[in-house]
């Protein structure tokens, strides 16, 4: 600490206690305020105002050191009796002897500066006259240090001389340290906010790209199998409704929707004449059709979706009794997403027209899954599907808004 000028005047104990209490109150109030501050300039202003409001001081200000040619100090906040004082003196931390202001001294040295009596200060200093005009008699200046290098100063002016106590100086030293902590925390928060904002922007772009890719894949499948145009969209929408009714997380629901909209991607491997055949398929032809879940998996397994899309597609023709394909999986070995997609696929397929048969109708489709609940299809999934149709919560014709809201809702 740099203690400049005159002998020390012994303060009455009561006065000393009052000053110490005020300084401690200021420290506590400012530390509480650090937690709520969301802008650096608001933090600076809060500290200056609390010093004036809670203590017996005439003026307080905070300045930041600049690395310009004149090594200037830029005032960032102030409170109390100022009257253009900060504009009228040279605020610099450039080495120039006695002409340096207290803020410059504390920034240059990195140590607190205590001037107990401005009038009696030794040496000719250009700022003394302006300080006396404002009624300032003594000054405290504290460096704002980051890794032992000062980047700013906290300055406190009193209208009395020889009044600062050791405890008072200690509290304000701690306040300066707390202020630095607050500044760094805000900077970290601002950097984090900027990074998060940029990340969110990039994620929005990726959502749009992913949505466009998914739609392109779906259209590709429909070109190969025009008779089932809209099938995947309706299956995806029904699967989403079932998953929502069951209470799955939004992330899982998004994954089911993506898998649903391209669950027949493997059919691009199957000749178009088989897909659109108006007759019953031969065993060889049907075995070829049954390969589409595996083909779909092979096509998509190398894409790093945020969800297990490839595996859902691979399992969507599995049945809980092991009679499905391509792996004859049973019960617990089948993903819940695939179980949901399986029910949605069966219901939509039976309710819709196919080249080799007319639509069987929704009632027959629901009767099929109810009859085979716990045998071919998961009971929880079946019950959820039956409920949403019974309560009128889902309609295959109510899918117009699906693509309109598709991209923004995807949680990548």
Best-predicted range by mean pLDDT (13-17, 89-93, 330-334): 330-334
Provide the mean pLDDT of the chain. 85
The mean pLDDT value for 115-130 works out to 80
The pLDDT score that the predictor gives to residue 410 is 38
For residue 412, pLDDT beyond 50: no
pLDDT in the model for residue 404: 36
Give per-residue pLDDT as tens, 289-340. 899 999 999 989 988 888 999 999 999 999 999 999 999 999 999 999 999 9
pLDDT at position 253, please? 95
Mean pLDDT check: name the lowest of 2-11, 238-247, 330-339, 354-363. Answer: 2-11
Output 241-246 pairs: Cβ under 8 A, ≥24 positions apart.
241/388, 241/393, 241/394, 242/340, 242/343, 242/344, 242/381, 242/384, 242/385, 242/388, 243/337, 243/340, 245/384, 245/385, 245/387, 245/388, 245/393, 246/336, 246/340, 246/380, 246/381, 246/384
Q: Are strands 59-65 and 149-158 parallel, antiparallel or unpaired?
A: antiparallel
CA distance 19 to 13: 10
**Lookup result for tokens 């649903």:** 260
Q: How many CA atoms lie within 13 A of 404 on its CB side?
A: 4
Answer whether residue 134 shows pLDDT above 60. yes
pLDDT value at residue 260: 92
Percent of residues, the chain, with pLDDT higher than 70: 88
Predicted structure pTM score: 0.53
More confident of the two residues 7 and 14: 14
- pLDDT at position 313: 95
- pLDDT-derived band at 267 (thresholds 50, 70, 90) equals confident
For residue 409, the model assigns a pLDDT of 40
For residue range 366-383, list pLDDT tens digits in order: 999 999 999 999 999 999
**At residue 408, what are phi and psi to the nearest 5 degrees?**
-60, -25
pLDDT confidence band for 218 (50 / 70 / 90): confident
Cα separation of 82 and 135, whole Å? 10
Min mean pLDDT across 101-105, 302-306, 313-317, 357-361 is at 357-361
pLDDT at 112 exceeding the cut of 80: yes
Q: Which domains does the chain have, with CATH numbers?
A: 2-186 (3.30.450.40), 201-409 (1.10.3210.10)
The stretch 169-194 carries a mean pLDDT of: 85
Token pair of 389, please? 């149709």
Q: Which one is predicted more confidently, 406 or 155?
A: 155
Among 137-146, 198-207, 258-267, 398-407, top mean pLDDT goes to 137-146
Rounded mean pLDDT, 142-159: 93
Instruction: Assess whether pLDDT exceeds 80 at residue 115.
Output: yes
Q: Answer whether 341's CB lies under 8 Å from 256's CB.
A: yes
Say how far apart CA 8 and CA 91 lie, in whole Å: 28
Interval 24-43: pLDDT, tens: 999 999 988 887 888 888 99
Confidence of residue 97 (pLDDT cuts 50, 70, 90): low
pLDDT of 277: 73
Structure tokens belonging to residue 349: 């397929």
* Dihedral sign computed on CA atoms, order 216, 217, 220, 221: negative
Give the pLDDT mean for 262-278: 81
Identify the band that residue 225 occupies on the pLDDT scale cut at 50, 70 and 90.
Answer: low
pLDDT band of residue 10 (cuts 50, 70, 90) is low
Confidence at residue 402, expressed as pLDDT on a 0 to 100 scale: 38
pLDDT at 405: 39
């Amino acid at each position: 600490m740099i203690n400049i000028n005159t002998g020390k005047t012994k303060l009455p104990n009561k006065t000393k206690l009052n000053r110490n209490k005020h300084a401690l109150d200021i420290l506590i109030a400012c530390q509480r305020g650090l937690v709520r501050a969301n802008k650096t300039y608001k933090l600076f202003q809060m500290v200056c105002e609390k010093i004036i409001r809670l203590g017996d001081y005439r003026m307080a200000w905070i300045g930041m050191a600049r690395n310009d040619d004149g090594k200037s100090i830029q005032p960032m906040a102030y409170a109390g009796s100022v009257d253009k004082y900060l504009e009228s003196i040279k605020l610099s931390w450039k080495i120039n002897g006695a002409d340096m202001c207290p803020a410059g001294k504390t920034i240059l040295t990195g140590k607190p500066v205590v001037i107990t009596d401005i009038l009696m200060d030794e040496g000719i200093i250009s700022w003394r006259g302006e300080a006396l005009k404002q009624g300032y008699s003594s000054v405290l200046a504290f460096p704002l240090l980051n890794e032992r290098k000062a980047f700013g100063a906290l300055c406190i002016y009193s209208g009395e001389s020889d009044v600062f106590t050791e405890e008072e100086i200690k509290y304000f030293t701690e306040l300066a340290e707390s202020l630095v902590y607050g500044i760094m925390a805000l900077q970290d928060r601002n950097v984090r906010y900027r990074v998060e904002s940029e990340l969110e922007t990039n994620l929005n772009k990726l959502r749009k790209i992913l949505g466009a890719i998914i739609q392109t894949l779906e259209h590709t499948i429909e070109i190969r199998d025009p008779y089932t145009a809209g099938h995947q969209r309706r299956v995806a929408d029904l699967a989403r409704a079932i998953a929502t009714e069951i209470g799955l997380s939004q992330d899982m629901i998004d994954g089911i929707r993506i898998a649903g909209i391209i669950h027949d991607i493997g059919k691009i491997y199957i000749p178009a004449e088989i897909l659109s055949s108006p007759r019953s398929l031969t065993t060889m032809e049907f075995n070829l059709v049954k390969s589409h879940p595996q083909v779909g998996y092979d096509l998509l397994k190398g894409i790093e979706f945020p969800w297990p899309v490839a595996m859902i597609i691979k399992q969507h023709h599995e049945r809980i009794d092991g009679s499905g394909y391509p792996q004859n999986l049973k019960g617990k070995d089948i993903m819940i997403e695939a179980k949901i997609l399986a029910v949605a696929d069966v219901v939509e397929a039976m309710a819709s027209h196919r080249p080799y048969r007319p639509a069987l109708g929704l009632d027959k489709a629901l009767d099929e899954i109810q009859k085979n609940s716990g045998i071919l299809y998961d009971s929880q999934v079946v019950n959820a599907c039956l409920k949403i149709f019974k309560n009128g919560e889902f309609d295959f014709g109510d899918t117009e808004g699906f693509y309109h809201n598709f991209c923004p809702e995807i949680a990548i």
